[in-house]
Amino acid sequence: MAVLTYIQAVNQALKEEMERDNKVFILGGEDVGKKGGVFLATEGLFDRFGEQRVIDTPLAESAIVGGVGVGAAMYGMRPVPEMQFADFIMPAVNQIISEAAKIRYRSNNDWNCPITIRAPYGGGVHGALYHSQSIEAVFANQPGLKVVMPSSPYDVKGLLKAAIR
């Protein structure tokens, strides 16, 4: 069995799901494409899948999640928006809780929102005040949302693939 780091497992899961389903695409704040993301979780994916499926965006979390992510998911795509850090997800809370989480209920099961939001969090990155908060409780008790917090490379690869599917 190959030994992978956590980030390598994220990268493999994303690559495998993008190869499996051409509706899967990644988007996020200015660096998930050519630079491979803050932690290099998307490294090499831009070169492999192109700018149509690995999309660098402005740092506008409400647009990344709500305007593009939720809209694309409702259209039948499988968006994987990445927040640079979980702390930055707050501008997108309304779109996540009021739109993505509730669309199945609000539409009487006519619509769903298969979106997988990735957001690194916690103190391990030594990011200080605005890069280390653990805000998962904001989402954990919302009907219509599933929050996972994998702790190992094995867990992150399996849970990320399952979430995207």
Catalytic residue ranges? 131
Q: How many CB atoms lie within 10 A of CB 151?
A: 8
CA dihedral 70, 65, 53, 157 (to 10 degrees): -100
Nearest to 85 by CA among 152, 41, 38: 38
Nearest in space to 116 (alpha carbons), one of 41, 48, 58: 41
Residue 106 tokens read as 């609000």
Q: Which of 48, 21, 22, 15 has the alpha carbon at shortest distance from 34?
A: 48
